[in-house]
Structure formats: structure tokens, C-alpha cells
Structure 1
Amino acid sequence: MTTLLREVIGDVLRRVRVEQGRTLREVSDTARVSLGYLSEVERGRKEASSELLSAICGALDVPLSRVLSEAGDDMALEEARTEVSTSRIDASTKVVIPQAVAPVVSMAVA
């Protein structure tokens, strides 16, 4: 399953908020965003506009560029993990490659 950018951005925002020891209510009040909406953004259920992301980042006192950069790094790691897991061939998988079918030639013996 593909990870969505909104989910990764939400994870970064939550990680920053928790590292600061702040509550959803504190950040939502400072950013002037409803508590419920901020929660939905952090859980990756809502796609935040650039204006809303800017307000949340301002409330967290973290540059938007940092949030986007961390989200990009996290997304790249997720893509690399997905690529590795889908490119592995299970050793127990048996593959049968049929031989080329040659035209059947019958010969009559006299």
C-alpha cells in the first residue's frame, strides 16, 4: 500500500509537537485551527492547505521547510522499504519456464 504525503506530513507535525511536550489544544489555539481538524491533519486524514500548514508550523515555531524536508526524507525511506520488500523473490517460489515449442515432425519409416 502506498503511503500518502498527508500521512507523512501529519506524522512529522505530531512528532514535532510531542517532542516539544505540547498538547493538541495548545497548538490548535495558537494556530487558530480547531482541535478536531488539527487532530485529523496529524492522523493524515485531512489534506492541509499551505496556509494551514504555515499556521501550524508557526504555532510550533518550526519552519515549514523543515517539516516538508523531514516529510520528504520519511517518504523516501518508506519508498525504499516498499521497493525492497516488493523486489525480493521468495526462495520457495517455483518458476516453470516452458521450453520453446518446436513443430512436431513425424517421420514414416519404410
Structure 2
Amino acid sequence: MTDLPAIPTGALVRAARRRDGRPQAAVAGLCGISTDYLSQVERGRKKPSGDVLAKLAAELGVAVGTLLGDDDAPPAKTEPAVTGGAAVVQALLQRKDASLRPSPANELRDRVEQAWKVWQNSPTRFTDAEALLPGLIHDAEGTVRALRTGTYGGERREALRVAADLYGLLRSGQLP
């Protein structure tokens, strides 16, 4: 009995991701997998399930067949698929900014609670949440980063709690 040829999925995933200049962490997060798992897939150490492969293909803007090495698969899109609101993704990937100032933790807490209420009660929750989240993520991330150094103690802990609740919201419904 002969062995079937190896499927070059990992190398093709890496090539598609690099073509768009996207970091592993961003693609992995948007696909709901860990960066370590994506790294192992790209190095050929893990074979993704069909579900994960479909998520990767959608996020990278290619056909699943392309990631399986099918030369007859439709050509890749010129731009990656957008599975999350661009503003939300930008807020999550923001760079260090010297102008960041911490927001009061109680104000952030109120805004996160409001966002949860919108998510739980609004018939147009995706649209409504997408409008609220970029600014909220930016402010929460900025607060946590601004309080990273110094003697902020309890204020930093509360900011981290608020950020954790916000990220729980983001994961709860695979929001935009």
C-alpha cells in the first residue's frame, strides 16, 4: 500500500497570510484559534479540522481548495475577507500612543455594562455593538496600557477587570 502525498495546507496558509502582510496573532484571533495552534498548522505539525480550515480560508480570502493544494480552486481574492468590523480590529491592534490617558475605571465600567445591555437586548445588536465597540476598546486598551507602569495599584486592577469583561463580550457572540 502506498502513502498518499502530504497535503501542503500549512505552507499554503502561511503564504496566504503573508501575502496580505497579516500577523499570526490577528488571523488566529479572528478565526477563534490560538496563535500557537496557527503556528503549528503553518509548520505542518497540526492538521486543522474542516471547520478551522474553512475559517482560515474565509479570513484569508481564499477558497478552501486553495489551502488544500487544489490548483483548480478559484483564484484568491485580492483583499482578505472581512470577518470583523475594521474599526474593531484596528482598536484591538492599536500601537502604543504617547497621548494615551487613562479613563476613569468607573466610566469604563458603565460603558461596558451598556455594551452588554445592547448585546443582550437590541434587535440590531451587531450594528449597534459595532458602533460602540471601537471607541470602548480603544479607551479600555489605552487605560490598561497607560496604567502599566507606576503606582496605580487598585485603579489598574479595576481597569484590567473592566477590560476582561469587555473581552468576554467580544468572545460571547463573535462580535464584528
**Aligned equivalent of 1:41:** 41
**Aligned equivalent of 1:27:** 27
Pairing partner for 1:4 from 6, 13, 21: 6
Post-superposition shift, 1:4?
2.4
Q: Structure 2 matches for 1:1-110, cutoff 5 A?
A: 4-5=6-7, 8-68=8-68, 71-73=69-71
Deviating beyond 3 angstroms after TM superposition, the runs of 4 or more aligned structure 1 residues are: none
TM-score (norm 2): 0.36
- C-alpha distance in 2 between matches for 1:30 and 1:4: 27
Post-superposition shift, 1:72?
4.1
**Aligned equivalent of 1:79:** none
How many residue pairs get aligned? The number is 68
Question: What percent of counterpart residues are identical?
Answer: 32
Q: Radius of gyration: which is bigger?
A: 1
- C-alpha distance in 1 between matches for 2:31 and 2:37: 11
Post-superposition shift, 1:57?
1.1
- C-alpha distance in 1 between matches for 2:13 and 2:56: 8
Post-superposition shift, 1:62?
1.6
RMSD between superposed Cα atoms in Å: 1.7
TM-score (norm 1): 0.56
Post-superposition shift, 1:3?
5.9
State the SS of the aligned residue for 1:12: helix
